[in-house]
Structure formats: C-alpha cells, structure tokens
A and B are shown apart, each in its own frame.
Chain A
Amino acid sequence: MNVFISLAAVVFLFLAGLLGAGAGLDALFGIVIPYIAIFLFLGGLIYRVMIWANVPVPFRIPTTSGQEKSLPWIKQSKLDNPSSTLGVIGRMALEILCFRSLLKNTKTELHEDGHVAYGSSLWLWLGSMAFHWSMLIILLRHIRLFIEPVPGAITFLHKLDGFLQIGAPVFYVTSFIFPIALLYLLFRRLGDPKLRYISLVNDYFPLFLLIGVGISGFWLRYISKTDIASVKELTVGLMSFRPVTPAAISPLFYGHLFLVCVLLGYFPFSKLVHMAGVFFSPTRNLANTNREAHHANPWDYPVKVHTYEEYEDEFREKMKAVGIPVEKE
C-alpha cells in the first residue's frame, strides 16, 4: 500500500511537470517553482540545522567502539574510541565518506540447534555507497549547466565519469550506477519482510522520486538529447535573477525539473535531512574524554538528595552499636 501511494505520487508529479509545461505553464514550472524549491531547501535546511544546534548536548555519551585511552602501555583505538578532536574528525570522516558503520554490518542467523551464526553483509553498504557517491558526482557534473565558463575541475570530472568513451554523447558511468543502486535499495526494501514491515511512505516516496529524477535525466541526455544551450539559458537566467523560459526546451525537461524541485522542497522536512543530521550525532561526534575533562550540562538543576546527615539520623544508634564511626555522638 505504502509502495503504491508513493509510486503513484511520483508518477503524478512527473506528469504534472510534463503536461503543465506542455500546456503553456512553462513560466510556472521553469521559474516560479524552482525558486520556491530552492527557498524551501535552503530555508528548511537552515531551520532544521538551527533547531539541532540550539538543543544542548547535556551528557557526553559517545558510543565507544574500541579500546579507551587508559594506561600508557595499552594501545588505544584512536578512531573507534577517540579522545582527541583529531580522532573525532577521523571517525566522522570515515563515517560520512565511507559509511564505516555499515561496513561493519552483519547478518544474523539462528540455526535449529540454537547456534547463532554471523556473516558479513556488505550489500547494504555497497548499495548505499554506489547511490550516494554517484549522486554526488552527478550533482557536481550538473554544475556545468549553471556556470559559464565551466570550471576545469568539473570538466575533468566529466572526463573521469565518461572514461569508457562509448556512445555519443559519451556514456557516464554514474548514469547507470545511480538508478541501479536505487533499484537495489528499493528491491531490498520490498524483498525483506522485516524491512517491508518497517517501511513507510516516507521511505518509498523519496526512492521513487530519485529513480524518477534519474530515469528522466537519463532520457534527456541519451535518448531525447535535450538542447543543452537552451537549458543553460534557463539555468543561468535563474541564477542571475533574470529568468527566461526558452521555447526550445522540451516538456520532458520540465518533468525532470519538477521532480528535482519536489525533491529539494521535500528534503529538509523528511528523513533525507540525515545528510546534515549525521554531523550532529552525539554518539559519534563526541570525544571520549569523559573522566579526563568535566562536561557541563547547561540546563543542570538541583535535585532532592538523601544527605549523609539524614542517613546518620536514621541509623546512628545501630552504627554506634557495631562501632561504625559517626559524626554526631
């Protein structure tokens, strides 16, 4: 059910962009909506980040995944249990760039005789890495549509991504990896009963949305071969706040663009915001200096305690009887 709602929503959105622009609403889909989307994306993201940043971290609670810093002759695990800022940066970098925790993933099996077996399970890691990194490269590749002249680094990225030198226009490796990785993540979600059980529209919708963006983009590049010059006219116009909608742009492009706009606007208000959130995770970004340095809780307040005086008042006679020293004789 959640799957169909999500798929239907994405198909509907795509057609809305395609047909809407075809029906002469290209100013709406080419100018107004992109501006709104960018506003929602940036504004929403800043809003979310500000909320997290303004919520205190009262306790220092890193999840320690290795040996603590203790006696000088015991080797500390500096990345998995960092006690310095450098160590934390290393831990976070590996987490964000390499998805290190997913790299530890295991699959657990319970055998009939009660034996619990563990195996390495790297498909999720591979699928996520393939998806996230190809998306990043595709995004960077798109910079050439926004800037003139195109920076050398971006041109180089294009060459790298198209190293196979097949087809005209040249096929980019990421054009294939991106949708394949997404389809894997989708079928993984559908194929595993446990995952299907926990999956919400919030999970399927962004997957379909990204797949829609990927397929329509693929189509625009390799099949219908969009007029890049006109697209660039539109994007540069948007960037310079002198928007135009060139007539040579196909409705299919507006379908693609609209899905991207929905993605941008949806991003900060959905789970996709993990992109920014991962940087804030206290179990990962705090150094284990717990006993070495004092960590203050900004909203700390006094609590009712049972003082020694109250304790001795209750037990004084019994303490004295067995010779335990007391404060008041």
Chain B
Amino acid sequence: MTMAKFDEPGYYKHEDLLKVDYHPPRTGWMDTPVDFRPGTYIYPGKAKNLKYLDLPNPRNWAVTDEDWKLQENWKEIVLDGMAERLRRYRTFRLFMDICVRCGACADKCHFFIGGGDPKNMPVLRAELLRSIYRKDFTALGKILGKIAGARELTYDVIKEWFYYFYQCTECRRCSVFCPYGIDTAEITMMGRELLGLLGLYVNWAIEPVANCFRTGNHLGIPPHGLLDTLEFMVDDIEEATGIKVDIPMNKKGAEVLFVTPSGDYVAEPGIQTCMSYMILFNEIGLDYTWSTYASEGGNFGLFTSHEMIKRLNAKIYAEAKRLGVKWILGGECGHMWRTMHQYMNTVNGPPDFLEVPKSPFTGTVFENARSAKIVHIMEFTADLIKHGKLKLDPSRNDHIRVTFHDSCNTARGMGILEEPRYVMKSVCNNFFEMPENTIREQTFCCGGGAGLGTDENMEMRLRGGLPRGSAVKYVQEKYGVNQLAAMCAIDRATLITVCDYWAPGVKVTGISELVANAMILKGEKKRTKNLRLETIPGAEEEDTAQGNIEHLETIEGMHTTKGGSSNE
C-alpha cells in the first residue's frame, strides 16, 4: 500500500483531527501570521482562466511564494475597491459598523468546530476586513489606530484574506444566530471580490467559471459531449427499467427549459439523479428541453463576484427566450438555487417573455415563482405526488434507511424545507431526521461549498465536514441509516468523502433517484435493478409473475406487520 498524500483522506488520522484546541494562541490575532499548511489552502487561479474572462492581473503563481506578483498599486486598488463596495452594498457598510462581538456566532461555524482556528470564528473572519475598514474609513480608527481595533493594510493582510475567505463556505449558518443578522457570506463575498481585483482567485472556482463562460457548463463539456453523456444515461435507464427515454436537446417551442448543475452529468450519484429527471419527465410526458448552451444551473460566479454571477447566469434567460419556452424548471442543486432564488431575477430579469409557471399535469400555478419563472424540481415533484400523478412503490426503497441533509443555500437562502421531506416520505418508508441543531435552518455545510470542495483542501474539508459527519453517524448508530439524501450537486460530490471518513457505510443519494426507483413506469420491465444497476435486495427472490400493484401490496403488508418501525 502506498502512503496517502495530503490531498487524500487516508493521510489524516481521526484522533489527530479530533484533537481540536479551542484555546486561541498567545499572540493577538493581528500579530498571528497565516500558516499555509498543505491540505488547508487551495491552488491559485491559472493565468489562462483569468485571461479568458478578462480578469485583472493574470499570471501563474503559488500560494507559498513570497511574492504573489500583485500590481504595483495593489493597496490603492484594494482601498478604492472597498470604498466602491461600501457605497454599493448596504450589507457591507452596515456589517462593518454594527457588530458588537458578542460571540454568538463563534461556535456556529463548521470550520471552527472542526478546526479550532480562531480566525474561523465568523466574528473574527469579518474583523479581518473590519480592522482595515476602521483604519481607512472611520474617524476613531484613523485617530486611535490599534486601540480602536484598526490596522494597516499590508501584504500579510492580503495573504490572510486569501486564506480565510477561502475557508468560508458562505453557508450563512452564523447569520441565523447573529442578533443583527450579520451575514458572513456577504463579508466573504466582498473579501473575495477585493482579492479578485488583484487577480487572486482559486483555480477550483475560476476554472469552472471560465469553462462555463465558454461551453455553458462548469465541466467544460462541449455540446456533442453533453449529448453523448446523456445517451449513455439513456442506455442505463433502459437496462434498469426497460424504458427508452428521449433526449430533447435545444428543442424550440418546448414548454419547459430544464437546467441542472453539471455535477449531474458525471460520476455517481450525480448521474443517477440526472437519469431520474429523464425518467420522471418521460413518464409524465413533460414537453421539455435540455440546452447545451445553458447546460449549467450552478453558478460558480457566486463564489467569485457579483458581476460574475450575472455574466454566467445571463445564458439561462437568454436561452429560454431563444428556444421560446414558457417557463424554467431547475434540478437539485444548492448554490444554484441561492442564485436562482436570490439573484437571477435581479441580475438578468425580469423575464417578461416567459409565462407564470403552471404545471401542465395538475394545473397548479407556482405563485411563488410568478416573476422569476423558475420552479424547483422538488416543488414540481411534490405537487405531482400530492395530486396522485405518480404511481409509486416505496417498498422498492425498503432496503434504504435514509436521512436528509438540508443544503445550506436552499435552507437559508430560500427555505425549501418541507417539499423535499414530503417527496422523500412518499417514496421511502424509512426516513429519519438528524438532530434538530443540524437540520433545516441550522443545517451544517458539507465542508466543501463555495469553491472549497477540492482535494488539495482535504484537511479543511474533513474538519469542516465533522459536524455533518457526526450527525450522520448519530442516526447511523441510532436508526441504522445507510443513505444520506441531498439535493445539491456539491453535496453529492463532497459528502461522499465526509461520510466515508466520519460515518463509513452511509452512501449519498439525490432525492430524485429515490423517486425514480420507486416510480412504477408505464410498460416497465420487472425492476430488479436500481438506477445504479445494483440488484434491489428482495427483488430477485420473488420469482412469480405478479403485477407491480400486487407486488406493492405484498411488501406493504409485510411492512405494517413489522409494527411501523419506520415512524420512530
């Protein structure tokens, strides 16, 4: 066996990571320089990506370099950038002014809980910027300096910003507990924008941005490649269900444009989530289309700058207009929905050329999406199930004991909490909640959101994933949970690592996958394999020619005799 490297989970011993020292160092935080330890920082954005996007100061550099090759007038650039943003964002100005350092946020951050670095307390993360704000933008700070909590903007401050603003996943958990609603995501976004003015980006975010700008998706999949990818899925769907589904691609005049994060195009369990959408749409007969140009629902611009949100998101409404659809349906994703819900209509709307979304099957008008004209797949699916439009056999998921990870962005930047639960409970007999301090608006980040989910950041991902991992382990031990459902592409990628490390044995799934596995399709063959093409436990033993409905009754009967153990 070869030795694990710092970008692999095996490199980190549990007992080492769990030795968290919450006592701050002896030196004051202003006098404690950053320690760029491998595993805790992300590689810088490559020159080619910055060039492609016309971003300032493209060059190749390394975080561990003494000289980060900043512009000569870097200080002026940063201070001008701050002044501009203080004029533009009330959040920024206000959050610089009113924090009382009560410390309520301190132990709410997953990185602080799992790492103990005091600068990962949200309050101190904001002080990194606030100290500069005091020095250059407030009277008391100018006069009293350090006594008033002000400090000079130095090269080391920039390095510190880079380290800590890329150790925040913009999950907003702290802002739930703040008595003034100070939102560290806003602070981090400002910090990253200022770093961006100096050409300081992380490659794991800026390369997807560049890809998305060019090819329409973060992964850089060209149009023919996307079609190819979906065709593979069609084959797998046929193998599992016996049904051959269509791939409507760039189809003009379709009723609905469907957009989903590109994480759904590659790797398990993203692809099963994607296959599930296709199965669902085919079964109900939705007149929809994919788009190669708008082939990304996610938006790494959110992790880059407000301007980049707009530059990337513009494609979606533009494509909806070009194809002449009536409204837009969006797949399972976290930060995509923060963007779609809180930014899209402002940056690229209002899309008056679209119609108010209305389900063609139930007649439900999605009033809450009246202006932005985009509906979440869980809102759509919950409505279908409520109206009895799907034939379901939840017993096919009986071998699954599932819990639900609320994604930060959909929980705290939208509030879609009940729809996914309703859907899951309709398709699974064994659903269990994690402890209340770790779900809904108090949910924990996977540790890899906001552009941090890369392997060179492995130590921070495992540390940041600890609170979630611990909660998963809790339900694993208490209820025998063996799957974690999440409606977020980043979760579906990063929580695999988190679960393998902190709660081994728990697999990760999208919600739509659970739906598609439970759906009884018109003309399907006997379902013995799930969408991962694994044999469904129990399905093989029944060798009779029973119809699906009888099958369902049998299993349900068996289930109730067990005494409703699923309702613990």
Residues of A within 8 A of B (CB): 5, 48, 51-52, 55-61, 63-71, 73-75, 77, 80-81, 83, 95, 99, 101-102, 104-108, 110, 112-116, 118, 124, 128, 192-195, 197-203, 269-271, 273-274, 277-278, 280-284, 288, 290-297, 299-300, 303-308, 311-312, 314-315, 318-319, 321-322, 324-325, 327
Contact = CB atoms under 8 A, between A and B. Distances in A.
B contact face: mostly helix, strand, loop, or mixed: helix
A303 B310 contact: yes
19 contacts: A55-B94, A58-B306, A61-B342, A63-B176, A66-B417, A68-B414, A104-B176, A116-B470, A195-B103, A198-B103, A198-B124, A273-B97, A273-B98, A288-B414, A291-B345, A291-B368, A291-B374, A306-B315, A307-B318
Given A115-B470, A277-B98, A308-B322, A63 B183 contact: yes
Interface string B85-110: 01111110110011111111011100
B18 A112 contact: yes
Interface stretch (B61-69, B70-78, B222-230, B393-401): B222-230
A305 B102 contact: no
A305 B369 CA distance: 25
A263 to B, nearest CB: 15
B40 to A, nearest CB: 18
Interface of B: 14, 18, 20, 22-24, 28-29, 54, 86-91, 93-94, 97-104, 106-108, 113-114, 118, 121, 123-124, 127, 138-140, 147-149, 172, 175-183, 186, 213-216, 222-224, 227-228, 249-252, 292-293, 306-307, 310-311, 314-315, 318-319, 322, 340-343, 345-347, 349-350, 364, 366-374, 379, 382-383, 386, 411-419, 422, 435, 437-438, 440-442, 466-467, 469-471, 473-474, 502
B417 A52 contact: no
A299 B148 contact: no
Contact of A291 (B20, B107, B371): B371
A278 B54 CA distance: 39
Contacts of A271: 97-101
Contacts of B347: 297, 300
B127 A198 contact: yes
B101 A71 contact: no
A194 to B, nearest CB: 5
Given A65-B412, A114-B14, A194-B118, 5 more contacts: A59-B342, A113-B18, A274-B99, A277-B180, A295-B346
B94 A277 contact: yes
3 interchain residue pairs of minimum CB distance = A68-B415, A64-B415, A277-B98
B437 A55 contact: no
B222 A315 contact: yes
Contacts of A304: 54, 311
B88 A299 contact: yes
Contact of B179 (A95, A107, A197, A200): A95
A contact face: mostly helix, strand, loop, or mixed: loop
B116 to A, nearest CB: 9
A70 B368 contact: yes
B376 to A, nearest CB: 8
Contacts of B470: 114-116
Contacts of B382: 71, 74
A203 B149 CA distance: 10
Nearest to A185: B102
